[in-house]
């Protein structure tokens, strides 16, 4: 066959030379705190399965029952005949969860960010103001919008204010600030009270992406808005059903007016098919578990505190994390890869995160504990981290 893509040879070579070629490890068991990955049983510190809902018996049952009752999918986009009674039920329950008037469910958190940025920011006279460490889907949402982009230094409120009061922003047609609620690589929480204050002062729309905070922060895991007691003061909350909820999907929690608008113009809503009923039923059951089994959230935080303090005692630099996402700073890409490989051989899976996902010099391992890890699992993991960390002169 003719090779009309031989330019890929050079691209692949570069990726390999720069250590950016990805060969994912393969999960062969259920997504569990101790899982079989690439044929080996390891302590799994890599999933977003914060509350172990991926294997919760009540949720599995809800999923199976929905598949039995409704079949395996809606085979349509939401705006044609992919909106089922379960989708409507989930949207009203998510609005209640986020304490907003309404909610729109789309295929993923990625799509949710694209939906809002692309639907609201439609002219070069609009300005999207974004934290420099925001998630890739916010960046791509910005690219698909027609707005000008202004990037502020990570959680730097003086820099944000300087941008907000500039003539360019003040004279813009529409203006929106976007921030992650919890930053996915560092685990720090956005200074939301201050951002809210600034957005109110300068009359700017505020959107918070709570992908890593929903199910994790605030009462019942309602997210950063509940955590900081800011009910009614954040215009748009993005959530994902793919992390703590452990299925797949995303949503926009907002006013009824914005929900009505997005339901008629959002391109992911209009042009990409709706999630199967079994997935939606799992999310409804997941909310029920969040409200009725608060022990998972409590154990998640107990484990988080325990693991962080043990890592610190062992001498690791865990950055500025305030959440179950705990980075272990390494500062060099090759060393981070080696660290991750050696840990795996010893029975712990923690992924190396390198440039361009994080800046050069900030390479790290990223760990996420779940409610299902036992103290023994975490203690053993720290012992292995310590052994390998010493061998590689990281501590
Ligand atoms: C993971 C993540 C997303 C994407 O969510 P998916 O549902 O996996 O598409 C969006 N925003 C942030 C901040 C994330 O961490």
Query: What pLDDT, on a 0 to 100 scale, did the predictor assign at position 302?
Result: 98
Ligand 1 contact, 137 CB (< 6 A): yes
Query: What pLDDT, on a 0 to 100 scale, did the predictor assign at position 395?
Result: 94
Average pLDDT over residues 82-94: 98
Average pLDDT over residues 250-267: 98
Ligand 1 contact, 251 CB (< 6 A): no
Ligand 1 contact, 316 CB (< 6 A): no
For ligand 1, the distance from its centroid to the CA atom of residue 143, given in whole angstroms, is 17
Ligand 1 contact, 187 CB (< 6 A): no
- Order of strands, edge to edge, in the sheet holding 34-37? 34-37, 40-44, 348-349
Ligand 1 contact, 108 CB (< 6 A): yes
Average pLDDT over residues 94-108: 98
Q: Is the pLDDT of residue 2 over 80?
A: no
Q: Is the pLDDT of residue 388 over 90?
A: yes
| Mean pLDDT for the chain overall | 97
CA distances from 368 to 50, 129, 149 (A): 8, 29, 31
For ligand 1, the distance from its centroid to the CA atom of residue 254, given in whole angstroms, is 18
Query: What pLDDT, on a 0 to 100 scale, did the predictor assign at position 376?
Result: 98
Ligand 1 contact, 389 CB (< 6 A): no
For ligand 1, the distance from its centroid to the CA atom of residue 180, given in whole angstroms, is 10
User: Residue 19 — pLDDT band, cuts 50, 70, 90?
Assistant: confident
Condensed to tens digits (0 to 9), the pLDDT of residues 147-184 reads 999 999 999 999 999 999 999 999 999 999 999 999 99
Query: What pLDDT, on a 0 to 100 scale, did the predictor assign at position 311?
Result: 98
Residue entry with tokens 């698909």: 144
For ligand 1, the distance from its centroid to the CA atom of residue 107, given in whole angstroms, is 11
Query: What pLDDT, on a 0 to 100 scale, did the predictor assign at position 3?
Result: 83
Q: Which of 130, 135, 275 to mutate to test the pocket of ligand 1 (most atoms within 8 A of CB)?
A: 135
For ligand 1, the distance from its centroid to the CA atom of residue 164, given in whole angstroms, is 26
Q: Which of 138, 139, 184 to mutate to test the pocket of ligand 1 (most atoms within 8 A of CB)?
A: 184
Ligand 1 contact, 250 CB (< 6 A): yes
Domains assigned to the chain: 21-50+294-391 (3.90.1150.10), 57-292 (3.40.640.10)
The Cα–Cα gap between 92 and 253 comes to 10
- Order of strands, edge to edge, in the sheet holding 102-106? 102-106, 250-254, 236-240, 205-209, 175-180, 127-131, 148-152
User: Residue 264 — pLDDT band, cuts 50, 70, 90?
Assistant: very high
Average pLDDT over residues 115-125: 98
* Atom of ligand 1 minimally distant from the CA of 240: 7
Average pLDDT over residues 53-64: 98
The Cα–Cα gap between 107 and 70 comes to 19
Q: Which residues are catalytic?
A: 184, 212, 243
Ligand 1 contact, 109 CB (< 6 A): yes
Query: What pLDDT, on a 0 to 100 scale, did the predictor assign at position 18?
Result: 87
CB 187 within 8 A of CB 319: yes
Query: What pLDDT, on a 0 to 100 scale, did the predictor assign at position 356?
Result: 87
Average pLDDT over residues 71-78: 96
Query: What pLDDT, on a 0 to 100 scale, did the predictor assign at position 196?
Result: 98
Ligand 1 contact, 242 CB (< 6 A): yes
Condensed to tens digits (0 to 9), the pLDDT of residues 234-256 reads 999 999 999 999 999 999 999 99
Condensed to tens digits (0 to 9), the pLDDT of residues 315-357 reads 999 999 999 999 999 999 999 999 999 999 999 999 999 988 8
Q: Which of 47, 94, 136, 211 to mutate to test the pocket of ligand 1 (most atoms within 8 A of CB)?
A: 211
For ligand 1, the distance from its centroid to the CA atom of residue 137, given in whole angstroms, is 7
**pLDDT > 70 fraction of the chain, expressed in percent and rounded:** 100
Paired strand residues for 251: 105, 239
352 Cβ contact partners less than 8 Å away, ≥ 6 residues apart: 330, 333, 336, 337, 339, 340, 363, 364, 365
Q: Is the pLDDT of residue 1 over 80?
A: no
Q: Is the pLDDT of residue 39 over 80?
A: yes
Query: What pLDDT, on a 0 to 100 scale, did the predictor assign at position 232?
Result: 96
Q: If you take atom 7 of ligand 1, which residue's CA is the nearest one?
A: 109
């Amino acid at each position: 066959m003719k090779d009309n893509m031989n330019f890929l040879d050079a691209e692949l070579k570069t990726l390999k030379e720069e250590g950016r070629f990805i060969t994912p490890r393969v999960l062969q068991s259920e997504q569990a705190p101790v899982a079989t990955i690439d044929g080996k049983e390891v302590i799994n510190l890599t999933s977003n399965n914060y509350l172990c809902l991926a294997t919760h018996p009540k949720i599995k049952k809800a999923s199976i029952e929905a598949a039995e009752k409704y079949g395996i999918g809606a085979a349509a986009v939401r705006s044609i005949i992919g909106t089922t009674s379960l989708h409507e039920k989930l949207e009203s329950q998510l609005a209640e969860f986020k304490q907003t008037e309404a909610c729109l469910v789309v295929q993923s958190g990625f799509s949710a960010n694209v939906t809002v940025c692309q639907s609201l920011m439609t002219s070069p006279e609009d300005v999207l103001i974004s934290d420099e460490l925001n998630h890739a889907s916010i960046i791509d949402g910005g690219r698909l919008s027609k707005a000008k982009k202004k990037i502020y230094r990570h959680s730097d409120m003086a820099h944000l204010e300087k941008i907000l009061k500039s003539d360019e922003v003040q004279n813009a047609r529409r203006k929106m600030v976007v921030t992650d609620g919890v930053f996915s690589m560092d685990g720090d929480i956005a200074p939301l009270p201050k951002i809210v204050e600034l957005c109110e002062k300068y009359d700017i729309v505020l959107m918070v992406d709570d992908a890593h905070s929903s199910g994790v922060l605030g009462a019942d895991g309602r997210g950063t808005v509940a955590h900081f007691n800011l009910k009614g003061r954040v215009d748009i909350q993005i959530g994902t059903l793919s992390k703590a909820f452990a299925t797949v999907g995303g949503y926009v929690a907002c006013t009824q007016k914005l929900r009505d608008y997005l339901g008629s113009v959002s391109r992911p809503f209009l042009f990409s098919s709706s999630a199967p009923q079994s997935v939606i039923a799992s999310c409804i059951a997941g909310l029920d578990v969040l409200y009725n089994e608060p022990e998972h959230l409590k154990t998640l935080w107990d484990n988080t505190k325990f693991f962080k303090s043990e890592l610190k005692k062992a001498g690791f630099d865990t950055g500025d994390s305030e959440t179950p996402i705990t980075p272990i700073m390494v500062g060099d890409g090759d060393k981070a890869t080696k660290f991750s490989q050696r840990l795996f051989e010893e029975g712990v899976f923690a992924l190396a995160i390198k440039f361009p996902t994080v800046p050069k010099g900030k390479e790290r391992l990223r760990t996420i504990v779940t409610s299902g890890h036992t103290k023994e699992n975490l203690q053993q993991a720290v012992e292995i981290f310590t052994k390998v960390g010493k061998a590689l002169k990281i501590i």
